[in-house]
Amino acid sequence: MPELPEVEAARRAIEENCLGKKITKALIADDPKVIDGVSRADFEASLLGKTIVSAHRKGKNLWLRLDSPPFPSFQFGMAGAIYIKGVAVTKYKRSAVKDTDEWPSKYSKLFVELDDGLEFSFTDKRRFARVRLLKDPASVPPISELGPDALLEPMTGDELFESLSKKKIAIKTLLLDQSYISGIGNWVADEVLYQARIHPEQSAASLSKENYGNLHKSIKEVIEYAVQVDADSTQFPCEWLFHFRWGKKPGKVNGRKIDFITVGGRTTAYVPELQKLSGQQAARAGSKQANKRKGHGDGVKDDVNEAASDEEVNGSVQSKKGRKPRGQGNKSSAKRKSKESDDEDNANDSEDDDDDDNDDHHDEDQKNKTRKVTNNKQSKVEKTSKKTVQTSQNSKKKKKAK
């Protein structure tokens, strides 16, 4: 997924190769999901004959200033990319267009030819990007709603301390909030927190002054270095998590194991040995682990006992016939959620390439494991509930016989 370093690499490539050149040909895809708020014909007519004056970026958004408005704006989404024929924009999952490649790509949403023959295209395989035509892109959403750019408008140490001390949410969740700070995505956030030695789930407000200082330094260093090497991960330092982040199995960094958890709805890589929870969160986590070890294997029994207790409190057990097995409502709800999740995953993956799949596979594996555990648990509870009902009915029959 393109983040600030990838989008900045695209901006610099356009700045170095396209400024001062006139657009002689423009082709816009007939895709209203990506081409937002303007017809294909109007978009093409607005570009023809215009000269590219400058290229701008904020967060993960890029826009081109022409010699007169309106201006094309690009929100990269999950798989948006700029290709310039004959130019290696970035080595991150992509390379220069080869003579043997389809050009423009069937995934092209905007294709432009310049007066010197140079051609560039904005592509999007997964159709989560948005391409707009705006009079002043920076003054309207989504760009106007973004927080300060992590590279161009960095917070001072004091500003970061003051803002974080008021936020009682997980630090990674906050870093991913584009209205708080723009440009930081999933892999950058993981890398920043690893370098700062901060647990991704640590509450922002509970960070120590040392944590704040390390975090401020790490944001600056990770962003600047990634931009410096045009987001080419082969040039990242060997201790960076990013080298292992896209592996099919958790790897190691400097001999230490990398674990994966979900924070803010995103798969998160971290090193437990170096990134530890602190304060009350550490105490709660320790207590939770101790309880888990103490009650290991008793989870289903506890649920069954709780179910039986609930039935006793209600005064009677419903007859087996017509009684809705306990947990059935939750099961159908789980099925609905599972179906919605599967539908979303299918939509997301339908046009994806192999390089974008690893993170999605890890998320899906986690979901499948969770579903399996939930279904097994529900099945055991349901069987035990049925036994409870049968026992109660047999007891009533014996009393009547007496």
Structure-token match 């060997």, residue found: 238
Q: Which of 50-59, 233-242, 252-261 is predicted with the least confidence, judged by mean pLDDT?
A: 233-242
Q: Which of 47-61, 155-169, 249-263 is predicted with the least confidence, judged by mean pLDDT?
A: 249-263
Does residue 391 lie within any of the structural domains? Answer: no
In this predicted structure, the answer to whether residue 74 has a pLDDT above a threshold of 70 is yes
Q: Domain check: are 139 and 167 in the same one?
A: no
Q: Domain check: are 181 and 140 in the same one?
A: no
Going by pLDDT thresholds of 50, 70 and 90, the confidence category of residue 204 is very high
CATH number of the domain enclosing 12: 3.20.190.10
Q: Which of 110, 145, 180 is the last residue of a domain?
A: 145
Does residue 347 lie within any of the structural domains? Answer: no
Return the SS3 of 179: coil
> Are 358 and 243 spatial neighbours (Cβ–Cβ below 8 Å)?
no
In the chain, % of residues over pLDDT 70: 68
Does residue 223 lie within any of the structural domains? Answer: yes
Does residue 32 lie within any of the structural domains? Answer: yes
Q: Domain check: are 92 and 172 in the same one?
A: no
Return the SS3 of 206: helix
Q: Domain check: are 138 and 41 in the same one?
A: yes
In this predicted structure, the answer to whether residue 307 has a pLDDT above a threshold of 60 is no
**What pLDDT does residue 219 have?**
97
Render pLDDT for 117-126 as a digit per residue (tens, 0 to 9): 999 999 999 9
Rounded to whole angstroms, the Cα distance separating 123 from 88 reads 15
Q: Which of 246, 270, 294 is the last residue of a domain?
A: 270
Q: Domain check: are 17 and 79 in the same one?
A: yes
DSSP label of 273: T
How many domains does the chain fold into?
Answer: 2
Does residue 291 lie within any of the structural domains? Answer: no
**Sequence-ordered list of residues with C-beta below 8 angstroms from that of 281, at least 6 positions apart, any chain:** 199, 201, 202, 203, 206
Residue of higher predicted confidence among 276 and 345? 276
**What pLDDT does residue 395 have?**
53
Q: Domain check: are 95 and 172 in the same one?
A: no
Q: Domain check: are 110 and 23 in the same one?
A: yes
Query: Would you tell me the crossing angle of helices 328-349 and 357-401 to the nearest 10 degrees?
Result: 170
Per the annotation, the verdict on 137 as an active-site residue is no
DSSP codes joined into one string, 324-377:
PPTTHHHHHHHHHHHHHHHHHHHHHHTT--GGGHHHHHHHHHHHHHHHHHHHHH
Render pLDDT for 230-240 as a digit per residue (tens, 0 to 9): 888 778 887 88
Q: How many residues make up the chain in this entry? A: 402
In this predicted structure, the answer to whether residue 203 has a pLDDT above a threshold of 70 is yes
Q: Domain check: are 195 and 258 in the same one?
A: yes
What letters, b where the CB count within 10 A reaches 16 and e where it falls short, cover 122-143?
bbbbbbbbbbbbbeebeeeebb
**What pLDDT does residue 371 have?**
52
Per the annotation, the verdict on 221 as an active-site residue is no
**Sequence-ordered list of residues with C-beta below 8 angstroms from that of 253, at least 6 positions apart, any chain:** 194, 239, 240, 241, 243, 244, 271
Going by pLDDT thresholds of 50, 70 and 90, the confidence category of residue 372 is low
In this predicted structure, the answer to whether residue 171 has a pLDDT above a threshold of 80 is yes
In this predicted structure, the answer to whether residue 300 has a pLDDT above a threshold of 80 is no
Going by pLDDT thresholds of 50, 70 and 90, the confidence category of residue 322 is very low
Q: Domain check: are 31 and 135 in the same one?
A: yes
Rounded to whole angstroms, the Cα distance separating 152 from 120 reads 25
Does residue 185 lie within any of the structural domains? Answer: yes
CATH number of the domain enclosing 166: 1.10.8.50
Structure-token match 């120590």, residue found: 208
Rounded to whole angstroms, the Cα distance separating 152 from 162 reads 20
Q: Which of 29-38, 67-76, 211-220, 384-393 is predicted with the least confidence, judged by mean pLDDT?
A: 384-393
Q: Domain check: are 98 and 189 in the same one?
A: no
Per the annotation, the verdict on 372 as an active-site residue is no
> Are 78 and 348 spatial neighbours (Cβ–Cβ below 8 Å)?
yes
SS3 per residue for 46-80: HHCCCEEEEEEEECCEEEEEECCCCEEEEECCCCE
Q: Domain check: are 196 and 167 in the same one?
A: yes
Does residue 115 lie within any of the structural domains? Answer: yes
Would you say the pTM of this structure is higher than 0.85? no
| Of 3, 6, 113, 191, catalytic | 3
**What pLDDT does residue 224 have?**
96
Does residue 224 lie within any of the structural domains? Answer: yes
Rounded to whole angstroms, the Cα distance separating 383 from 328 reads 12
In this predicted structure, the answer to whether residue 5 has a pLDDT above a threshold of 60 is yes
**What pLDDT does residue 90 have?**
62
Rounded to whole angstroms, the Cα distance separating 83 from 67 reads 22
Q: Which domain holds residue 266?
A: 157-270
Q: Which of 90, 114, 145 is the last residue of a domain?
A: 145
DSSP codes joined into one string, 106-162:
TTEEEEEEETTS-EEEEEESSS--EEEEES-GGGSTTGGG---BTTTSPPPHHHHHH
**What pLDDT does residue 99 have?**
62
| Of 58, 60, 85, 109, catalytic | 60
| Of 2, 137, 142, 200, catalytic | 2
Q: How open is the CA angle 43-48-54, to the nearest 5 degrees?
A: 90
Rounded to whole angstroms, the Cα distance separating 178 from 176 reads 6
Helix, strand and coil percent figures for the chain, each rounded to 5: 45, 20, 35
Rounded to whole angstroms, the Cα distance separating 304 from 220 reads 52
**What pLDDT does residue 112 have?**
98
Q: Domain check: are 162 and 116 in the same one?
A: no
